[in-house]
């Protein structure tokens, strides 16, 4: 299956956002990964609705929104209206996860769940068939540019087994510290979507970096 590359806009140059979006549009990337942080669920605030609206205006690829916020149910319809195609909430932020997932789907989006590095895959056993995507955090959420947590490989294999055992169609996304050093091993372990922020946008030639990630994973 085609493995997907999702550049994380958190690492883009916000003073040249349209330029960076157009770079992604013209590149081998598959998705835009958009990190929304509220300063409560995570110790950082990224950007909110007006910025996502501006991104949506120019983006020509799937918009994958990663909500690092408490009480995401409040904003599901808003994110649908802003152009999100995939909406991912954190397991740790949802008391009634099943209800939240159904609401995301009812709003016409694909539904994802993200797991913090300390959260075991097993908590998804009873919801895996309802999910379109699981995002395994390979860093603690809140900041770009952190180092990849090696325990992630084990979690990817466990999740892959759970998906196969449950006959789920869910995709596996990896978020945090992805580089050309770990990309192929992640895909080998079962990853379908690789998010890459700093590695893409801080490189000398982001278009070439994306092309290289795509080539080594496919």
190 among the known binding-site residues? no
98 among the known binding-site residues? no
SS3 content of the chain, % helix, strand, coil (to 5): 45, 20, 35
For ligand DX5, the closer of residues 65 and 82 by Cβ is 65
Residues found near ligand DX5 in the complex (CB under 6 A) = 8, 10-11, 33, 35, 66, 139, 141-146, 175-178, 195-199
- Residue pair 69/84 in contact by the 8 Å Cβ criterion: no
58 among the known binding-site residues? no
Chosen residue from 175, 187, 194, 201 binding Zn ion by CB under 5 A: 175
Query: With 0-12 CB in 10 A as exposed, 13-18 as middle and 19+ as buried, what is 15?
Result: exposed
For ligand DX5, the closer of residues 56 and 146 by Cβ is 146
d(CA 155, CA 196): 19
Beta strand extents in 28-132 (DSSP E only): 31-37, 62-68, 86-90, 110-115
DSSP designation for 91: G
Q: Which is the catalytic residue, given 20, 30, 175, 192?
A: 175
Q: Which is the catalytic residue, given 35, 38, 64, 132?
A: 35
Chosen residue from 35, 38, 64, 192 binding Zn ion by CB under 5 A: 35
Task: Write out the catalytic residue numbers.
Answer: 35, 175
Q: Please give the annotated binding residues for a divalent metal cation, written as ranges.
A: 33, 35, 66, 175
């Amino acid at each position: 299956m085609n493995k997907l590359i999702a550049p994380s806009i958190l690492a883009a140059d916000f003073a040249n956002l349209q330029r960076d979006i157009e770079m992604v549009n013209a590149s081998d990337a598959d998705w835009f990964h958009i990190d929304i942080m509220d300063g409560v669920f995570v110790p950082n605030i990224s950007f909110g609705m007006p910025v996502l609206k501006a991104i949506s205006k120019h983006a020509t690829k799937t918009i994958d929104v990663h909500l690092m916020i408490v009480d995401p149910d409040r904003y599901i319809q808003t994110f649908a209206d802003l152009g999100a195609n995939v909406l991912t909430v954190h397991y740790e932020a949802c008391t009634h996860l099943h209800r939240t997932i159904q609401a995301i789907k009812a709003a016409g989006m694909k539904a994802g769940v993200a797991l913090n590095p300390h959260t075991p895959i097993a908590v998804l056993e009873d919801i895996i068939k309802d999910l379109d995507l699981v995002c395994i955090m390979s860093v603690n959420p809140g900041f770009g540019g952190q180092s990849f947590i090696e325990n992630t490989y084990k979690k990817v294999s466990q999740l892959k087994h759970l998906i196969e055992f449950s006959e789920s169609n869910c995709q596996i996304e990896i978020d945090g510290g992805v580089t050309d050093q770990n990309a192929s091993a992640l895909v080998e372990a079962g990853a379908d979507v690789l998010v890459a922020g700093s590695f893409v946008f801080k490189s000398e030639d982001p278009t070439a970096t994306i092309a290289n990630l795509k080539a080594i994973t496919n």
